[in-house]
Structure 1
Amino acid sequence: MDFKKYKTFQVVADTLNLTRAADQLGYSQPTITLQLQSLESELGVTLFNRVGKKTFLTPAGKLVKGYIDQTFSLLDEMEQELRKLDSPHGLLTVAAPEFYCTQYLSLIIHSYITQNPQVKLQLFSCDSNEAMKKVASNEADLAIIAGPCDSPIMDSLPLGKEDLVLVTTQELYLAHDTATLLAQYPFITYKSGSNIQRLVNECLEEYGFVLDHCIECVSDETIKRTVLHHTGIALLGSALVEEELRKGTLAEIHRFPGIIETSMVILKNRLEEKNIHSFAEIVKRIWTEM
């Protein structure tokens, strides 16, 4: 298929004037006439009729024009879509625990969108286990999680390590010794089977603390707020309680250094996708600066 002949036909059919068509195409009128004659011979139909000085499309010419317009429109669309592949575009979905969403990703998203305005970002707030499930099912393109990722289909890119801190309110800490606190007040923690709960259990075992009375919560932010209402004690990431410890509203009972590893998880077969790769690069750069 000679696209040049069809493009010449389309321009002539649009203008119905060989002089204007020659100006648009940069061809001489004899060249245009030869191309049209060749196309008519190839298709076995007459495409144009002349009545006096006016040129008209024949019924066959109108039919061919309709298909040619559709064809070139599709080709233009294809070229546009191919150009999009050279830069991030479309939808990017990120899943992460609530604390990471509010404290880290809000800044990262602003930086990413400034550099990649063609990308529409969607953020899911959920616990680490749910975030990994969303990545595995392609509901999320990537996730930021706390704790280990053992999935063989995912790549885990470490972002940093964080202490786990056993905390309660300053008032409870001053009113009771540690043994009384641990014996009389509930332990506020993550729901059973969650990613971070495994780390919590390991730390409690190391500390020699046996859980008798627990309150399970769906997010670390909920755990912190429950503790702040003088409900009991909790083992939380140091970044989450840093401000409260500094202000004195929470008190540190014990610290387990470097227990939580924060990671970005991505399906191995999607690592090189433009949206994912570009976002991952910004996350790695900004996370280390914060």
Structure 2
Amino acid sequence: MNLTYLRSFYITVKCNSISKAAKQLHLTQPGLSMQLQSLENDIGENLLNRSNKGVALTEEGKVVFEYAESMLSLQDNLERNLKNLRNKKSKLFISSCKSIGEHILPCSIYTFKEIHFNIDISMEIDNSYNVIKNLTNHATNIAIIQDMDVPDNVSTTPIMPDKLILVGGRNITKSSISIKELTELPLVLREEGSGILALLEKALQNKLISLDNLNILISLNSLESIKSSVASGRGYSFLPESVVTHELRTGALRQITIEGLEIPYNYYIAFRKNYNFTDHEEKFVQFLTSNKRCFCY
């Protein structure tokens, strides 16, 4: 049985008119009549009595009409579910450290979405320690981190260079200080587990200075809170240059160079060594390591 012809029969009965049904089905009246005749030939029964007043179901037609509603409903449901399955969006979950996740990655994600609109992306932002923990615990398959020690079962691919710089408010009087002067500054730093704090600690160790030697006023887990505190003159902080580009440009923050101390580093995509990316994960990784990406500065 041809379901297209069955639908034409069903619509004709509902409209009680071949001309009205033909208009609704975008068919000519002769074309619709041919379909109805073909359906009747397939079934081997006369289904409709035609007259100037419209159409009327025969006894056989009443039986076919009763089943037609269920059959066509099943067809509609089947086609709808198959379409939904074809159009089902892939889910991509990313875990990122705060500096790149809050300030740099969003533009890349929007650009990626414009190319791959059928991939839904969720990004969780945390400090680097927890990001790696999520990766090794299989809570995420793609992590974005700063330079840091990673477990043996994790591989990394560099995506962007950056550097940690010392910044103060707009009213600072010095643009350059010594290591000794650094230990006297009131500092607002990131919390334990932060990649930024780990980078700073490692760089200072190379100068035989520990975090205990610093004058740390407070530790905060929010880059925006740190920037706000420093901009209002409540201390100094080490922040990624990419994170404070706007504030340096407007003068809300000012950079202070430290004699003999530079802290360059990279951002990386991190992933478990034995993990095979899904198709949409592979697309995102390739995008982020290509020149198509668009980082916010």
TM range (shorter): 0.5 to 0.7
Q: Does 1:76 align with 2:74?
A: no
CA deviations 1:93-134 (Å, max 9, x no partner) are 555455435643343344344445556655555434455566
Aligned residues: 271
Q: Does 1:9 align with 2:6?
A: yes
Q: Which amino acid aligns with 2:172?
A: E
What SS does the corresponding residue of 1:235 show, helix, strand or coil? strand
- Structure-to-structure mapping, 1:1-290, within 5 angstroms: 4-16=1-13, 23=31, 29=37, 31-37=38-44, 49-50=47-48, 54-55=56-57, 60-84=63-87, 89=89, 95-97=95-97, 99-101=99-101, 103-117=103-117, 124-131=124-131, 143-148=143-148, 150=150, 156-168=156-168, 171=172, 173=174, 177-182=178-183, 184-212=184-212, 213-214=215-216, 215-242=218-245, 249-253=254-258, 255-259=261-265, 261-265=266-270, 271-274=277-280, 276-284=281-289, 285-287=291-293
Q: Which amino acid aligns with 1:264?
A: I
Return the alpha-carbon distance in structure 2 between the equivalents of residues 163 and 172 of structure 1. 23
What SS does the corresponding residue of 1:249 show, helix, strand or coil? strand
Is the alpha carbon distance of 1:240 and 1:74 closer, same or farther for their aligned partners in structure 2, counting shifts above 3 Å? Answer: same
Residue 219 of structure 1, CA deviation? 2.7
- Preserved CA contact (<8 Å) 1:9 1:36: no
CA deviations 1:140-166 (Å, max 9, x no partner) are 785543334846887644212222334
Return the alpha-carbon distance in structure 1 between the equivalents of residues 62 and 227 of structure 2. 76
Q: Which has the higher helix share?
A: 1
Is the alpha carbon distance of 1:81 and 1:50 closer, same or farther for their aligned partners in structure 2, counting shifts above 3 Å? Answer: closer
What SS does the corresponding residue of 2:264 show, helix, strand or coil? strand
Return the alpha-carbon distance in structure 1 between the equivalents of residues 241 and 136 of structure 2. 28
Return the alpha-carbon distance in structure 2 between the equivalents of residues 91 and 263 of structure 1. 21
Q: Which amino acid aligns with 1:70?
A: S
What SS does the corresponding residue of 1:171 show, helix, strand or coil? coil
Q: Which amino acid aligns with 1:179?
A: K
Is the alpha carbon distance of 1:103 and 1:226 closer, same or farther for their aligned partners in structure 2, counting shifts above 3 Å? Answer: same
Residue 76 of structure 1, CA deviation? 1.7
What SS does the corresponding residue of 1:66 show, helix, strand or coil? helix
Return the alpha-carbon distance in structure 2 between the equivalents of residues 59 and 141 of structure 1. 58
Return the alpha-carbon distance in structure 2 between the equivalents of residues 116 and 25 of structure 1. 46
TM-score by length of 2: 0.65
Residue 218 of structure 1, CA deviation? 0.5
Is the alpha carbon distance of 1:77 and 1:179 closer, same or farther for their aligned partners in structure 2, counting shifts above 3 Å? Answer: same
Return the alpha-carbon distance in structure 1 between the equivalents of residues 32 and 98 of structure 2. 58
Is the alpha carbon distance of 1:58 and 1:35 closer, same or farther for their aligned partners in structure 2, counting shifts above 3 Å? Answer: closer
Is the alpha carbon distance of 1:10 and 1:145 closer, same or farther for their aligned partners in structure 2, counting shifts above 3 Å? Answer: same
Return the alpha-carbon distance in structure 2 between the equivalents of residues 28 and 58 of structure 1. 11
TM-score by length of 1: 0.67
- More divergent stretch after superposition (129-138 vs 62-71): 129-138
Residue 51 of structure 1, CA deviation? 5.2
Q: Which amino acid aligns with 2:257?
A: E
- Preserved CA contact (<8 Å) 2:200 2:263: no
Return the alpha-carbon distance in structure 1 between the equivalents of residues 105 and 271 of structure 2. 16
- Preserved CA contact (<8 Å) 2:94 2:143: yes
Return the alpha-carbon distance in structure 2 between the equivalents of residues 9 and 210 of structure 1. 82
Structure 1, unaligned stretches of length 5 or more? 38-45
Return the alpha-carbon distance in structure 2 between the equivalents of residues 288 and 187 of structure 1. 32
- Preserved CA contact (<8 Å) 1:95 1:134: yes
Query: C-alpha root-mean-square deviation of aligned residues, in Å?
Result: 4.5
- Preserved CA contact (<8 Å) 2:101 2:125: yes
Q: Which amino acid aligns with 1:171?
A: I
Q: Which amino acid aligns with 1:188?
A: V
- More divergent stretch after superposition (158-167 vs 137-146): 137-146
Residue 237 of structure 1, CA deviation? 2.2
Return the alpha-carbon distance in structure 1 between the equivalents of residues 154 and 33 of structure 2. 53
